Amino acid sequence: MISDLDAFDALAAGKSITDDANYSWRVARHPVGNVTPSDFRWDVSQIPEPAPGEVLLKAHYLGLAPVMRMYMMGGSPSGEMPLRIGDVIHGRGVAQVIKSRHPDYREGEVVQGQIGWQTYKVSAMTPQEKFFRMAPNGLPAALGSGVLGMTGLSAYAGLFPTGDPRSGDLMVLSGAAGGVGSMVSQIAANVVGCDVVGIAGGPEKCAFLLDHGCSATIDYKNENLAERLDVLRPDGIDLYFDNVGGETLAACLERLRMHSRVVLCGSISEYARTEPFALTNYTRLRRSESRMQGFFVYNHIQRWDAVMADLAGWIREGKLKPVQDIIDGVQNMPKALAQLYHGRNVGVQCCSVRGEPEVW
Ligand SMILES: NC(=O)c1ccc[n+]([C@@H]2O[C@H](COP(=O)([O-])OP(=O)(O)OC[C@H]3O[C@@H](n4cnc5c(N)ncnc54)[C@H](OP(=O)(O)O)[C@@H]3O)[C@@H](O)[C@H]2O)c1
């Protein structure tokens, strides 16, 4: 188990920010197992000045994702430089250009991209940082740190090109009340017409899911998963969207219908295990002529504009309710990351750097 969340409150205590310095969270130690407060170091430095060809960005919202623990361990699943001790932790978010010496960016423009866990950043806006201008869609810029950001692209890329969903599909979705999950449940049900059973931890999350696309739910922390799947999916599963891996993936593989699809999005239940989960029943794919396919969001980046336009359209039509769980204050970023592993978040876990209102 990770340290108690109170310990993360103690880490944030006494840390406040002003606009005349740069505040950042850096790697103090590579996490072993789940993240602990001693893995993070708070740093205060001068606000950097942009050189010719660079901009100064002021961060407003930062998104949180389970993969950040992997970054802190020195892994680089998204192609960024592996983090060493002392580096600013990687993270995407929404920022405003407040000084520009870059030919393509004007002061005042709002962008989203790789900012890191800090309040200011100087950037040459390189392709590796994957910056996008926020489209003028009338929706809050804060959504760029999650629903209209990399989480949204993940939900879309996992569901459509990977999952090939069809109207009437008998679907099961794990991690259903999380960032990717809460988007997939709504899009699959309200845009495609799938019948979605959502798996999440706790009665509050299950009640939330019934209002966000799911026709039925399984509270895996309080109910027997296999028994509930038998009750809710007596005819089997056409499409399983997997956010958690492990025993949940194995249970769904046991119940595949003919020509079903399994989307490997994530495996959060396995991330802190010392030994990977040994999946022994993958041969169930053979009997049902099913396919199991992974995807990696950064391989779908060329679809960005079209996907964001679709997502914004569905929000305006009321088919997709954006759900972002916003924690106030950059000093609480370590707690926000830990919360993901405690299952505390509903929707995309984000941070408003200075406690700005959600409508900014
Ligand atoms: N393939 C890609 O390119 C890609 C892109 C983005 C994300 N992902 C993956 O997609 C998954 C969802 O990402 P996200 O950013 O939306 O995070 P998220 O679902 O918001 O992640 C946090 C949630 O995971 C659940 N969880 C935590 N520990 C768990 C455990 N041991 N067993 C089962 N569930 C657990 C918790 O919900 P409960 O309270 O319900 O347990 C928690 O609220 C992650 O596995 C992530 O790594 C993959």
Q: Work out the average pLDDT over 120-133.
A: 95
Say how far apart CA 292 and CA 164 lie, in whole Å.
12
Answer whether 179 contacts ligand 1 (Cβ < 6 A). yes
Indicate where the chain has its CATH 3.90.180.10 domain(s).
5-136+323-352
Q: Work out the average pLDDT over 35-59.
A: 98
Say how far apart CA 314 and CA 322 lie, in whole Å.
10
Answer whether 105 contacts ligand 1 (Cβ < 6 A). no
The pLDDT mean for the chain works out to 95
Question: Residue 328 has what pLDDT?
Answer: 95
- Contact of 289 with 258, CB cutoff 8 Å: yes
- Contact of 351 with 68, CB cutoff 8 Å: no
Q: Which atom of ligand 1 is nearest to the CA of 77?
A: 3
- Using alpha carbons, list the distances in angstroms from residue 343 to 130, 175, 199, 252, 336: 29, 9, 12, 21, 11
Say how far apart CA 103 and CA 159 lie, in whole Å.
37
Name the pLDDT band for 359 (thresholds 50, 70, 90): low
Question: Residue 148 has what pLDDT?
Answer: 97
Q: Report which DSSP code applies to 299.
A: G
Backbone dihedral region for residue 259 (phi beyond 0: left; psi -120 to 50: alpha; all else: beta): left
Answer whether 91 contacts ligand 1 (Cβ < 6 A). no
**Checking DSSP bridges between strand 214-219 and strand 195-200, what pairing results, if any?**
parallel
Give 176 Cα–ligand 1 centroid separation in angstroms.
9
Helix (H) or strand (E) holding 58: strand 55-63
- Using alpha carbons, list the distances in angstroms from residue 208 to 119, 155, 215: 33, 18, 11
Question: Residue 78 has what pLDDT?
Answer: 73
Answer whether 184 contacts ligand 1 (Cβ < 6 A). no
Question: Residue 275 has what pLDDT?
Answer: 86
Question: Residue 57 has what pLDDT?
Answer: 98
State pLDDT tens for residues 21-36: 999 999 999 999 889 9
The yes-or-no verdict on residue 357 having pLDDT over 80 is no
Q: Report which DSSP code applies to 40.
A: E
Q: Work out the average pLDDT over 325-338.
A: 97
CATH of 150-298, one of 3.30.70.1290, 3.30.420.40, 3.40.50.720, 3.40.1280.10: 3.40.50.720
CA angle 220, 259, 156 (to 5 degrees): 60
Q: From atom 2 of ligand 1, which residue's Cα is the shortest distance away?
A: 296
Q: Which atom of ligand 1 is nearest to the CA of 176?
A: 40
- Contact of 142 with 151, CB cutoff 8 Å: no
Share of the chain above pLDDT 90, in %: 91
Q: Work out the average pLDDT over 199-210.
A: 98
Give 181 Cα–ligand 1 centroid separation in angstroms.
8
Answer whether 65 contacts ligand 1 (Cβ < 6 A). yes
Q: From atom 46 of ligand 1, which residue's Cα is the shortest distance away?
A: 266
- Least confident window among 196-205, 207-216, 267-276, 342-351: 267-276
Answer whether 92 contacts ligand 1 (Cβ < 6 A). no
State pLDDT tens for residues 306-315: 999 999 999 9
Q: From atom 9 of ligand 1, which residue's Cα is the shortest distance away?
A: 266
Alpha helices in the chain, H assignment, sequence order: 5-12, 67-72, 150-157, 179-186, 203-210, 225-232, 246-253, 284-287, 304-317, 333-342
Name the pLDDT band for 79 (thresholds 50, 70, 90): confident
Q: From atom 36 of ligand 1, which residue's Cα is the shortest distance away?
A: 343
Q: Work out the average pLDDT over 337-345.
A: 95
Question: Residue 1 has what pLDDT?
Answer: 46
Rg for the chain, CA atoms, rounded: 20
Give 245 Cα–ligand 1 centroid separation in angstroms.
10
Homologous superfamily of 5-136+323-352: Medium-chain alcohol dehydrogenases, catalytic domain (3.90.180.10)
Answer whether 185 contacts ligand 1 (Cβ < 6 A). no
The helix/strand/coil state of 83 is coil
The yes-or-no verdict on residue 164 having pLDDT over 90 is yes
Render 177-219 in DSSP notation, one character per residue. TBHHHHHHHHIIIIII--EEEEEESSHHHHHHHHTTTEEEEEE
Give 349 Cα–ligand 1 centroid separation in angstroms.
10
Answer whether 78 contacts ligand 1 (Cβ < 6 A). no
Say how far apart CA 18 and CA 343 lie, in whole Å.
31
Answer whether 61 contacts ligand 1 (Cβ < 6 A). no
Q: Which atom of ligand 1 is nearest to the CA of 65?
A: 15
- Crossing angle of helices 179-186 and 203-210, in 10° steps, is 30
Indicate where the chain has its CATH 3.40.50.720 domain(s).
150-298
The yes-or-no verdict on residue 80 having pLDDT over 80 is no
Q: Which atom of ligand 1 is nearest to the CA of 298?
A: 3
Answer whether 201 contacts ligand 1 (Cβ < 6 A). yes
Q: From atom 5 of ligand 1, which residue's Cα is the shortest distance away?
A: 154
Share of the chain above pLDDT 70, in %: 98
Backbone dihedral region for residue 231 (phi beyond 0: left; psi -120 to 50: alpha; all else: beta): alpha
Say how far apart CA 336 and CA 327 lie, in whole Å.
7
Name the pLDDT band for 42 (thresholds 50, 70, 90): very high
pTM score: 0.96
Give 345 Cα–ligand 1 centroid separation in angstroms.
10
Q: Which atom of ligand 1 is nearest to the CA of 267?
A: 45
State pLDDT tens for residues 277-302: 999 999 999 999 999 999 999 999 99
The yes-or-no verdict on residue 360 having pLDDT over 70 is no
